[in-house]
Amino acid sequence: MNKNKEKIMQLVFLAAACASIALVAMICCFLFANGLPTIGKIGVSDFLLGQKWRPNNDIYGILPMIMGSLYVTLGACITGVPIGILTAVFMARFCPASIYKYLKPAVELLAGIPSVIYGFFGLVVMVPFIRDNFGGTGSSMLTASLLLGMMILPTLISVAEAALRAVPDSYYEGALALGAGHVRSVFFTVVPAAKSGIMAAGSPSSLMAGEWAWAAPLVKPWR
């Protein structure tokens, strides 16, 4: 009976995986089927290397958008990754239980906030603040980088914390047995042991294209 249930669940999981792959493949086919003819008319070099985006004049150059995306992604990594990793280390190894029971739900709550709310916050609060204190219009790569760095924190903290907690306690205990203190044991033994999971959490792919879509209106690199 149990074997039959396992087989049924395996089939269910396989069907779900196949459906997910099929949906992604359909989206890719749709994009390529509708995009490639247009790119062919414009010209691949003009489309990818063009420095002006003026659809009303039939000018479609996306190089400034590509470079703007790369700069904003790099800026978000610089601002968000250190804060996220240090927060994860604190929650996994230093945070008292009395604080953790409030801090963990707060991080999960941040993850549940829709991306459009972050974008609205950026337009209403961050853009005027950057404009008043740093000059310019406020719709800059700095604003978008700060906002995107804020948006990736919940995912980054959760993944990095899980990676740190997955490290066997024997690593930490062995470091203590060799005479290392608590802080040294964590940062020189536990953190390096979890570096694969931490690097996965802090990689640019964790910035999520969907999240960047809401930060995009804050930067206009084609001007």
Q: Is the pLDDT of residue 203 over 80?
A: no
pLDDT of res. 99: 92
Residue position matching structure tokens 């609060």: 125
Query: pLDDT grade, residue 135 (50/70/90)?
Result: confident
Q: In this structure, what token pair is assigned to residue 51?
A: 């420095």
Q: Is the pLDDT of residue 21 over 50?
A: yes
Q: What is the average pLDDT score of the chain?
A: 83
Cross-strand bridge partners of residue 60: 53
Domain ranges of the chain: 63-218
Amino acid at 110: L
Query: pLDDT grade, residue 221 (50/70/90)?
Result: very low
pLDDT of res. 209: 41
Residue 126 near residue 146, CB atoms below 8 Å = yes
Q: What's the pTM?
A: 0.73
Q: What is the mean pLDDT of residues 105-120?
A: 87
Residue 92 near residue 161, CB atoms below 8 Å = yes
Residue position matching structure tokens 């604190």: 90
Q: Please write the tens of the pLDDT for every residue from 62-108.
A: 888 888 888 888 888 888 889 999 999 999 999 998 999 999 999 98
What fold characterizes domain 63-218?
MetI-like fold (1.10.3720)
Q: Which is more confident, 134 or 87? A: 87
Lowest-confidence range among 41-55, 99-113, 202-216?
202-216
Lowest-confidence range among 38-42, 98-102, 206-210?
206-210
| % of the chain beyond a pLDDT of 90 | 18
Report how far residue 14's alpha carbon sits from residue 37's, in angstroms, rounded to the nearest whole number.
35
Pairing of strands 53-54, 59-60: antiparallel
Residue position matching structure tokens 């690593």: 171
